[in-house]
Structure 1
């Protein structure tokens, strides 16, 4: 945490506000000139103690890095997942979970709806709620309902309804159960066979999501059996760049996920990128 005030270069060493540079008195909570909250965290770019509660520097405008800018998870059995802010977004509004539950591997990936407020909060609470429910052995339908309730509780008004898309997978030896709403996808590798269908119109606008303003959203559930391959679950930050892409066929899942991330970033990195890879069938574990 930075000091409450910064010291100017005048002979008397008068303290000044880090935003407007007006004189302030040591111990003040707010700058009387501009209202800035003194004692805020320091900006990672300009150094001013001027980062607001939303994570933006009030002096230079930079969004501060967070633990969600890039994160990776690798399970003992080899399953791996990563999420990345990408190159164009100020924050990562994707969220992911990857965990083991007995002989099963559970993953949930949610993509915050960019047109909704606090979309990063929606995806985070949906992932946390649904993954915990699936790990306890609840059904896909039950987990989805609980996640929907959690996201709905975030809304404070009709105009403040955080929202996110949703996909969840429970991979057991030889059997996978998928559930989704929105345009977050799953594929079977190495061929890249699509396992989900987008809830979207021709313009790309989604027609299903989690949130207080979601109406009559139905959950798609699919179960299939397989003895080999990899399950890929990803947000549109990856799949929008998959046309003509040759999926990697060698390496550990985390290495393959990093290679896919590099492809998405090299292709423009327009959106947040989240990738989960789970070995299936005889390769699981």
Structure 2
């Protein structure tokens, strides 16, 4: 091995170059190759923001459900988070959108998704998973005036039934037709009125359980997609391919926000709203 700064020989076990003192664990810039990437992911030489793992993520399940999350075109990082898994004969999805005006919004969404998905996969009720996620996000704050925050929507699909829980303006839709299944906690100006975070106050989730009478797709998404829905937006097809198509639509329309889309096929057993 050689030092990326001075090219002196170094051993794999060494943390610093003995010749120039360069930390050997410092990542190399993907553009200029220098070991000068700072803690925020920017190269101190050329200024390039390094690609991050969450800039673009795709998930697929054997049963056909699929999800995609992308940084979009105008944000410096992806503050959305998603989980998609199968457990106990059901498909579980959680999507959270970090509130951009809050600090460490990406950490808030990641914490909420991780905790809620684990709870739902373990059989927790929608309300319980929501409260556990809310606690996890609130615990990230060192002061109420410096509180990470995120929106929340979860879905559990199994036995022909769908259970949704949400707070904020992340949404669920029924496809085909783009029928909105959730209601936004937001003012006409777009400002949200409910979220997860230490500064949110007491927040109870909206919960809806229903059994569709026809097969279709459940779409769970952030406002990076819902802000661009209009007549003619595709509403059917293979979930993985459709998720990529919808992402491309959001990016082509401006991509002003992070975009997260989860699509779950639903084969009903019959029934009505409960």
Same fold (TM over 0.5): yes
Q: Which residue of 1 aligns with 2:130?
A: 144
Partners of 1:2 and 1:49 within 8 A in 2: no
Distance 1:125 1:134 in 2: 14
Partners of 2:56 and 2:68 within 8 A in 1: yes
**Deviation >3 Å, runs of 4+:** 24-29
Distance 1:67 1:124 in 2: 13
RMSD: 2.2
Question: Which one of 1, 15, 19 corresponds to residue 26 of structure 1?
Answer: 19
Q: Which residue of 2 aligns with 1:67?
A: 53
Q: Which residue of 1 aligns with 2:14?
A: none
Partners of 1:43 and 1:50 within 8 A in 2: yes
Question: Which one of 220, 230, 233 corresponds to residue 220 of structure 2?
Answer: 233
Moved more, 150-159 or 271-280: 150-159
1:2 Cα shift? 8.6
1:39 Cα shift? 5.3
Partners of 1:2 and 1:42 within 8 A in 2: no
1:282 Cα shift? 4.2
**Aligned CA distance change for structure 1 residues 246 and 39 (closer, same or farther; 3 Å):** closer
| CA-to-aligned-CA distance 1:29-62 (integer Å, 9 cap, x gap) | 6xxxxxxx78521111222211112222223332
Structure 2 residue 249 is matched with structure 1 residue 263: yes
Query: Unpaired runs of 5+ in structure 1?
Result: 14-23, 30-36
Q: Which residue of 2 aligns with 1:16?
A: none
Partner SS, residue 6 of structure 1? coil
| CA-to-aligned-CA distance 1:105-134 (integer Å, 9 cap, x gap) | 000000000011111111111101000000
| CA-to-aligned-CA distance 1:176-213 (integer Å, 9 cap, x gap) | 00000000000000011000111111110111111111
Q: Which residue of 1 aligns with 2:12?
A: none
Q: Which residue of 2 aligns with 1:17?
A: none
Distance 1:157 1:46 in 2: 39
Moved more, 241-250 or 66-75: 241-250
TM-score, normalised with respect to structure 1: 0.85
Distance 1:2 1:210 in 2: 47
**Aligned CA distance change for structure 1 residues 91 and 2 (closer, same or farther; 3 Å):** farther
Bigger radius of gyration among the two: 1
Q: Which residue of 2 aligns with 1:18?
A: none
Query: Unpaired runs of 5+ in structure 2?
Result: 9-16, 270-274
Q: Which residue of 2 aligns with 1:106?
A: 92
1:262 Cα shift? 0.8
